[in-house]
Structure 1
Amino acid sequence: MIEIRTFRDLLRLFFIFFREFKLAVVATLVVVLLGAFLLPTSFESSARLLVKPGRDTNTLPIEVADRQSIVMPATQRDPILDEERMLTGRPISRQVAERYLEELANAPRPEGFLPTVKYYVGQAVSGAIELVRGFFQLLGLAEEQTPVDRLATKLEDKFSVTHAPGSSVMEIRFRWSDPAVAQSVVQSWVDLYLEERTRALGRRSLYDFYLNQSEASSAEILKLKQELTAGLDELGAIGMEAHLQNLSERINQLRTDRFNTRRLISSTEGSLATLDQQIKSLPAEISTSREVALNPVQQDLLRMLNGKRAERQDLLRTFTENAPPVKSIDETIASLEAMVKAEADTLQVSQNRAPNPIAERLRSNFMDQQSDLARLKAQLIRQEEQLNILEEERVKALSVEPELARLQRELTAAEKNFALYDESLEKARIDRELDNSRISNIAMIEQATFNPSRVFPKSLLMLVLALPLSILVGFLAIYFCYLLDQRIHDGGRFADKFGVPLWTTLPEVSGDPTQNSAFLAALYRLYGLLPLDQVGERGLVFGLTSARRGEGVSFIIGHLRRLLEERGYKVRVGDAPAQSGEIVLLDASALLSSPESFVNLRRADLVALVVEAQQSNIPTVAHAIGVLNTAFNKVDGVIINRRRFEVPDRVLRVIAKVRGAV
C-alpha cells in the first residue's frame, strides 16, 4: 500500500519494484531476441482469380431464379462465397497434399551444414511426434490419421482465400517455410481447383434432367386438365368461381322474390279481411224510388182529438176545471195525444228496390284479390322449390370446390414449372455445349507469385523494437506488482483504510538515530501526541505492541525513553502500574503469538500499534487492529517504523541538478 501523489512517489514505486522491472525487461528482451533468430521463417505466395458473372454463379433455385419481383437482391447470397468454399474444400486440399508428398519424396536432401542440421533435427522431431501420437492413439486419446490427412489439415490452416465486398476477384494466399514450395502449392491448388470445378460442374445430365422434367410436367398438366374438366362437367359449369357466383346471385334474387311474395300475400290477406268486413256492413239492396202519404189512422185520431178538445171547451163553460166531467175528458184527450204521437205522420205507399252497387263492387274486388292470393301462394311454392334446388346445387358445388381448387392450383403450378423447365432446358443445352468446349467463367489474372522476402518473423523490426518493448513490459510488470502488492510502505491513506489515526512515521536510519533530524522530528511528533498533562496526577502507562516480532517495538521504546528523560520525566520500562509523575512504557510485541502481551496491555492508558514498513501487509495489520479492538475496544494510534525512501541519493542529486538548471 503506497500513496502516489507526486513524481517522487512514482520514483519510489519504480525503485521498490526495480528487481521485478529488471527481470521483466531481461526476460522480454531474451524472448524477443531468440524469436528474431530462432522462430521458423514463413514465406507467402499469392494468386488472384477473377469470377466472371454467368450462370455458374447463379445459386438461386429454378422456381425463384426467374421471379425477380419476388426475391429481393439483399437476400441473394454472394456466389463468390461458394467458389471460396469449393476452393478450400477437403477434396482439393487432399489432392494437393498427395502431390506435395510425392514431390517431397522425390526431392534431394538439402546441401550445406545448417540446412542439413535443420533437416535431421526436423526428422528427429517428426519421429518423436509420431511416437507421442502413436502412444496417444494406443490410449484412445487421439484418432488415427494418415500423413496425407495431417498434411491436408496443415495446408488448410496455411491457405486463405478472401474477396472484398462487391468484388469479383478472389485473392489467394499461402504461407510456408520455403518460398518455392509456397509458389508450387498455390499453383497446384489453383490447377486442381479448376480441373475439379470443370469436372464437377459438367452438366451433361442436366439437359436430360430438364427434358424429363418438362415431359413429366406436360403429362401432369394434361392429367390435371382432364380431371378438372370432368369435375366441371359434372356440375354443368365452365368455371368453379363463376358457377358459385352465379348460384349465389340466383339464390339471393330468389330469396328477395320470396320475401316480396310473402309480403304481398300478407298484405292481400289483410285486404281480404277488410273487404269482407265492409261487405258484411253494407245492405245487399237499396230502394231506388218510393211513394209517401199521410197516415189515415193518425188523421182519424187527430179528428177525434180535436172533437174532444172542442167538447172540453164547452164543458168549461159549465163546469170548473176540477169538475169530474172536465177531468174525465182531460184524460181522454191525453190518451188520444199519446196515440197520435205513437203513430207515424206518413206512410210509404210503394217503393222500387235494386242491388247495392257499392257492395257489388266490393264483392268484385274481393273475388279479384282472392284470385291474386291463390296466384301468389302458387308463386311462393314455385319459388321455394327453385330455392331448394339452387341450394342443393350450391351445397354440391361447395363439396367438390376444394378438390377442384386443388386441381386448379396444381394446374397453375404445373404450367409455371413447365414454362421454367422449358426455358431452363435451353440454358442447359447452352451450358452443355460450353462444358463440351471447356469454357469456364473463372480466369486467373495473377499467377502464383514467388516472394523470397519473409513475412514472419520480421527480425529487423523485432530487433529495433526489442528494447522499447522490453521497457514497456517492465513498466507493466511494475503496475501489476503495484496492484498486487499488499505490503505497507508508508502511512498514506492509513487512517482511511483502517480507521486508526497515524501518529508518526519513523524513517530507517543507518547510523546514530540521534544524529538524524528526520528521525528526531518523527520522535518529537510522537512525544507531542502523548497526554503528558496527566503524568503529574496519576502517571501514564503507554503500551506499544506489534503483530509479530522484530518490528522495532524495543527500538522505539528505548529512544522514546531517552527523549522523555531528557525532557525531565521519570520513565520506567516494565509492566507495573504507573505512579504519579511516572511514565511506564510497556513492551507488548508479538501480539498475535504472545498471550502475555494482552495481560500487559490491560493496564495501558494508551495503546499504539507498531508497523514495520515493507514487511507488514494489510491483512496482518487489519487482523491485529481487529484483535486489539475486540480485546480493549481501542487502538489509539499507529506508528510506522523503518520507512524507507527507496530512491537512491544519486538519483535525487540528478533531479536536484536538473531543477537547478531549469
Structure 2
Amino acid sequence: MATSSGSKSFGLRELATVLFRHKKKVLAFSLASLALGVLVLLFAPRKYRSEARLFLQVGRESVRLDPTATTGATIGLQQSGRDYEINSAMEVLKSRAVIQKTLERIGNDPDLQSDAPDINKGAAVVLGNLAVPGGGEGRSDGSNALAKAVMTPLHSAIEAVRSIDEISDQERAIIAIERNLKAEAEYESTVISVTYDADSPQLAQYVLDALLEVFREEHTRLHSTTGSKDFFASQRDELQQRVDGTMVAIRDAKNRMGLASIESRRNTLENRVSTIQLARVSAMQELQSAQAQIDRLEDQIAAMPEWMPTTKSVGPNTGADTLRSQLYALQVNVMNLEAKYNEDHPLVQSARDQVDEAKRLLAEERDERSTTVDAVNPNRRELVLSLAQTERSRAGLEARVAEIEKQEAEVMAMLQQLNGYEAELDELERQHEIAKSNLIRYEQNFEQARIDEELDRQRITNVNVAQQPTLAQKPVSPSKLIVLGLSLMLASVGSLALGLGAEKIDTRIWSQEHVERGLDLPVVAVLPESRAYGTIPRGP
C-alpha cells in the first residue's frame, strides 16, 4: 500500500522518531563527516606564514620634492596626513614589477643548485620545485610517506587541470606570490604588516625576505630622479659662465663710462648743481642790483647839465666890423655895375640883393660881444664814470650768469647721461644678481642631488624593517578548530538533512497514524510486529 509520509504537524518528537528510524544512515554519515575532517587534518597540505613589519618613518622621501620640481624644495607634512604614503607603499609592495624582480633576486642566489636562468630558478623555488638554500624542502605534503602517497593523485589532477590553459612557471610563480602575499596597515599607523604563505616555513621566510629587499630598493628608486646630478652640474657650469660674463660686462661698462660708482658720481654732480644754482642766484641778484643802479645813474645824468659856465668877458664885435667892410665893398661893386649896366640888368639886381642882405645882417650885429667860458660838469662826470663802471660790472655779471648757465646745462647733461648709465648698469647688475641667485640655487640643488645619490647608493631610505621575516613552525592552515567545526557542522546538518530526505522518499507504513492519514479511514485492528508476519512489502 502506498502512502505519503507527510504530516500536517511536525515537532521535535516526530523529528527524533524520523532520525531514530534512519539511525544507521545518520550515524554512517556523521562518522563519514568526522572521518573526512580527520583526513583533512592528517593529509591536507600545510601552509606556513612568515610575517614582517615595515616602519615608514618621516624621512627625505616624505618631506621633500625632487630638486627638479618647480614648487619648491620641501613640502609641509602632518603626521595625520600620511595615509597616501602608506597606501602607495603597499601598492608598490604588491606590484607585479616588484614580484618579478623578487623572482630574479631569488634566482641570483649563488647557493641555488640549478643551471636554469635566474628568473626560472626563482620561479622553481617559489613553486616548491627547488630546495630553499639553507635547509628545508620547497613543498611540504605532510609528515609521512602515506600523506605524500595520498596527495600525489591530487597533485596529478591539479596539474592536468592546469595543462588546459598552459602558462609558464614564471607566471605561475607570480600568481602564487600575488595570492599568498598580504600587506595591510592599521588606521593612522605608519607600520605595514606584510605576510607571505608558503608550503614550508623556510620558503615563506626566504621569499618574504627577498621581497622586502627588492621593495626597499624600488622605494628608493621611485623617490629619486635619474640624471638630476648631471643636470644640475651642467646648469651650474653654465650659470657660472653667465655670472662671470655679467661681471666682465659691468667692469667694461664702468671703464667706458669712467666711473667707479653711480651713487658717488651722482652725489658729486648733485653737489655741483647745488653750487652752480647758488652761484647763479647770487649772480642774478648782483646783476639786478647793478641794473637798478644803472637806471638810477642814467636818471641822474639825464637831469644834470653836461657843461657849466666858469668866466664871462665883453669886447668889440669883430664880426660886425668885418661885415661893414664887406658891405662897403659890395656898395662899391654896385656903383661900378650901375655905371656899366642899366638898372634892370641881372648883375645889378644881384649886387643890390647882396647889399640888402649885408645891411640886414649888420643891423642884427651888436657893437660889443660877451664871451662865456664853459667847463664840464664835474658832478655829471662823476655820475658818468660811475655809470660806466656799473655797466662794466653788469657786463661781467651777465657773462658770469651766462657761464653759470652753461655750466649748469653741462652738469644737467652729465646727470642725464648718468641716468642712462645707471639704467644700463642696473640692467647689467640685475642680470648679474639673477644669474648669481640662480647659481646659488643650482649649487644647493646640485649638493642635494649629490647627497640623495649617495644615500640611494648606500640604500639609506625611510623604510625600516621593524620585524624581520619570521620562521614560524606552526602552520596557519588547515586550522584544526575550523576543520573540526566544519566537520561537526557537516555531520549535524548533513545527518539531519539525510534523515529528512530518507523519510521523504520512504513509502513504507510505520504506524496506524500513517494508515489513517494515508487512507482517511479509521484503523479497526492492529497486528503485532513479529518475525512470523514479516514486514509489509512496499507498494508499486
Larger radius of gyration: 2
| Greater share of residues in strand | 1
The two structures share one fold, judged by TM-score above 0.5: no
Structure-1-length-normalised TM-score: 0.37
Larger RCO: 1 or 2 (CA < 8 Å, sep 6+): 2
